Amino acid sequence: MAEICAGDRLALADILILDAQRSRNNAQPERALELLGRADVRPEDRSYGLYQAERLKALTMIGDIKAAWPAVLDTHEQALAASGFTLERRFTVQGIAFRAYANAERAKGWLLVGLRPNGEMETLRAGIPDWAARYSFEDDTPPFDVSNTRCTTSGQYFEDGGKIFDERINLDAIIALLESNYANPERRGNEAGLPGIPDFCPNLKDMLPGFGPALEFLGTEYREAGAGYSELDLQLALQSEDETERALAADFLLDHPDAVEPIHLIYAVTSLIERGDMERATFWYVIWQTRTRPWMEADSSIAQLRGALASGVGPMVLEWVGSDYDAMIALWRRAIRYELQFPLTKARPEGVSEDEWKRMVAIAREQNNEANMLGLLPPKAEYEAGRSANGLNIGPWSNPGRPLKDEWR
């Protein structure tokens, strides 16, 4: 691809950036930086924001954050300028080099972006909050607000906050407040009235607006029709920001459910929910519960992740499927039986022998077998009475979406 695009500067730059993104995702930051060094990217280019973002991420991986931040801030400044924001002033407070931006057309207030000596960033918004008008008398100086927005500097504050302005509230007053607060040893990060310094968390897609759609390299762009994914590319595609890419990856995984560690099946479930395929989503959620159980027993971090994912997805599918008691039991039974039919992923938790793993999988299947899973359900009349008391629907499934595939048996 690089050879094909060699005569087109912008196309070649995009290819190099995407290749750098892939290298970084494969834990090769040095190679990513080498590729980015070959890209001829200029401030006016659509890819400039992504270029700087990828450079920052790669430098972060090798512990060289300070080398990237100035360029990222310059990139952000150009993006703000393109949206009508102006740099009002540069100033330093307690060793933090701030830039103050304003946009008189959209609001009266300031966006403050500061660079700390250690290379981390401080972002504040300052202005007079909307509620001040209701509590201010004619001769009062309205109160103004300085709050920490952590690492998001896309300027949302100017969209919906601080529409009221009083000329007596100016940057000098804000700087004086910052000097006082930052010198205060009792200051706490993100505490109301005492803006603190957040942990380093470059939310780069928010930081660098105005450069067109983000480029995402998933490893699938040049895949022949019907070809598979690598394990890493499948994991990335399942969590892509593009709904179509998520759906394609989910469908591939459901046809090859042993392709990745089972914790990732939950992303296929969420893709099915997005598409309105609630019957399929519930079916695979049951399978996900069983397949992840032995991993949960072997690794406490997976147990925590599994609990968090289940708390988000579980209530949706369980509330939906429970409207039809008989259909729910049939679906549960079919999912439990189908889980026994396809192979486990080749991977197993670190430090667990093959024999021990087989034992753990057998225990998980015993815990989630038909007798245990369906035996926990109360009788139909009692179950439906409980749903009715909680205001939940009773009757045929509502909008089940596509039916289960015949081969899922």
Q: What is the pLDDT of residues 93-116, one digit of tens each?
A: 888 888 888 765 545 567 777 777
What predicted TM-score, i.e. pTM, was given to this entire model? Answer: 0.53
Q: What is the pLDDT of residues 255-266, one digit of tens each?
A: 999 999 999 999
229, 181 in Cβ contact below 8 A?
no
Question: Worst-scoring range by mean pLDDT, 20-24, 169-173, 320-324?
Answer: 169-173
Q: Using alpha carbons, select from 331, 329, 296, 316 the residue that is nearest to residue 392.
A: 316
Residue 222 in this model has a pLDDT that exceeds 80: no
For tokens 């429970």, what's the residue?
322
148, 195 in Cβ contact below 8 A?
yes
3-state secondary structure of 344: coil
- Sign, CA torsion 104/106/110/115: negative
71, 90 in Cβ contact below 8 A?
no
Q: Using alpha carbons, select from 169, 151, 49, 177 the residue that is nearest to residue 107.
A: 169
H helix or E strand, kind and range, residue 317: helix 300-321
Separation between Cα atoms, residue 26 and residue 214, nearest integer Å: 19
For tokens 């609630």, what's the residue?
278
3-state secondary structure of 105: coil
Phi, psi (5° rounding) for residue 128?
A: -95, 120
97, 114 in Cβ contact below 8 A?
yes
The segment with the largest mean pLDDT, out of 29-33, 162-166, 174-178, 223-227, is 29-33
pLDDT at 268: 96
- The chain-wide mean pLDDT, for the chain, equals 76
For tokens 């290749």, what's the residue?
19
Residue 301 identity: S
Kindly give, in sequence order, each residue whose CB lies less than 8 Å from that of residue 248, ignoring residues fewer than 6 positions away: 220, 237
Q: Using alpha carbons, select from 24, 81, 27 the residue that is nearest to residue 49.
A: 81
Query: With pLDDT > 70 as the criterion, what percentage of the chain qualifies?
Result: 67
3-state secondary structure of 110: strand
Question: Worst-scoring range by mean pLDDT, 63-72, 374-383, 394-403?
Answer: 63-72
Q: Specify the pairing of strand 109-115 against strand 121-127.
A: antiparallel
Q: The tokens of 30 are what?
A: 């040095």
Residue 343 in this model has a pLDDT that exceeds 80: yes
**Angstrom distances, CA of residue 108 to CA of 138, 160, 407:** 19, 11, 61
Separation between Cα atoms, residue 101 and residue 82, nearest integer Å: 13
DSSP state of 396: S
Residue 223 in this model has a pLDDT that exceeds 70: no
Q: What is the pLDDT of residues 277-325, one digit of tens each?
A: 999 999 999 999 999 999 999 988 888 889 989 988 999 999 999 999 9
Torsion, CA 18, CA 22, CA 25, CA 30, rounded to 10: -90
H helix or E strand, kind and range, residue 146: strand 145-148
Separation between Cα atoms, residue 208 and residue 212, nearest integer Å: 10
87, 32 in Cβ contact below 8 A?
no
Kindly give, in sequence order, each residue whose CB lies less than 8 Å from that of residue 391, ignoring residues fewer than 6 positions away: none
Q: At what angle do helices 265-274 and 278-298 cross, to 10 degrees?
A: 160
3-state secondary structure of 81: helix
E strands in 23-132: 86-93, 96-102, 109-115, 121-127
**Angstrom distances, CA of residue 350 to CA of 250, 263, 331, 346, 353:** 26, 15, 33, 12, 9
